Chain A
Amino acid sequence: QVQLVQSRAEVKSPGASVQISCMTSGFTFNFYTLTWVRQAPGQSLEWMGWINADNGNTKYAEKFQGRVTITRDTSATTTYMDLSGLTSEDTAVYYCARQGNYGEFGYWGQGTLVTVSS
């Protein structure tokens, strides 16, 4: 079955960077686009960007341009999301998800809580 398993929770200081991994299984990795979405406490969901697992092309939300980098390792069927210049406003649960043919996110990782605190 399709699975997306994310790395564990992180606590970071302001100004630091964080990397979250999302290990996938149960499907042909190169056939899909993988996306990252975050959710601040008590807030809605927010799309951050995607990566085409086949060619590595990426697209980022304007809000995160210059601070986010999404990469993938095809041999490990894993995608990574790096976010730099962390502030308290980046405290959130970060999710990876597999995108379907109509822009829907049909499969999600379990989420990774990132807490930014001094």
Chain B
Amino acid sequence: SYVLTQPPSVSVAPGKTAMITCGGNNIETKTVHWYQQKPGQAPVLVIYYDNERPSGIPERFSGSKSGDTATLTISRVEAGDEADYYCQLWDSHSDHFYVFGTGTKVTVL
């Protein structure tokens, strides 16, 4: 089965930049989405279609991908960004390819 690997944790000081990676085979050929999840809450979509932001998501959130790695970048990190983040892959050529990453806990120091 397809595995998407994320670092378990990332720590960042307020005002700095956090980068969360998502590694998997041939990610570049898939569509990548990113979710933020705070304790006890449902996930929230923060990036879709590799680098698009849904309405209401700050410009500080951006996405990119290259080769076998996708990256979520959070600029000018705020305390409210502390959460778990998950990448998700979708293959437009398959009707059942929905894979989530292992998740990354972002801690704001």
Residues of chain A whose beta carbon lies under 8 Å from any beta carbon of chain B: 35, 37, 44-47, 59-62, 95, 100, 102-106, 108-111
Contacts and interface: CB of A to CB of B under 8 A. Distances in A.
A47 B33 CA distance: 14
A103 B98 contact: yes
B103 interface: yes
B42 A95 contact: yes
Nearest to A93: B42
A28 to B, nearest CB: 18
A39 to B, nearest CB: 9
Contact of B49 (A37, A60, A61, A104): A104
Contacts, number: 60
A95 B100 CA distance: 14
26 contacts: A44-B86, A44-B101, A44-B102, A45-B86, A45-B100, A45-B103, A59-B95, A59-B96, A100-B48, A102-B31, A102-B48, A102-B92, A103-B31, A103-B33, A103-B88, A103-B90, A103-B92, A103-B98, A104-B88, A104-B90, A105-B33, A105-B35, A105-B43, A105-B88, A108-B43, A108-B44
Q: How large is the interface on B (under 10, 10 to 19, 20 to 34, 35 or more residues)?
A: 20 to 34
A105 B92 contact: no
A58 B75 CA distance: 39
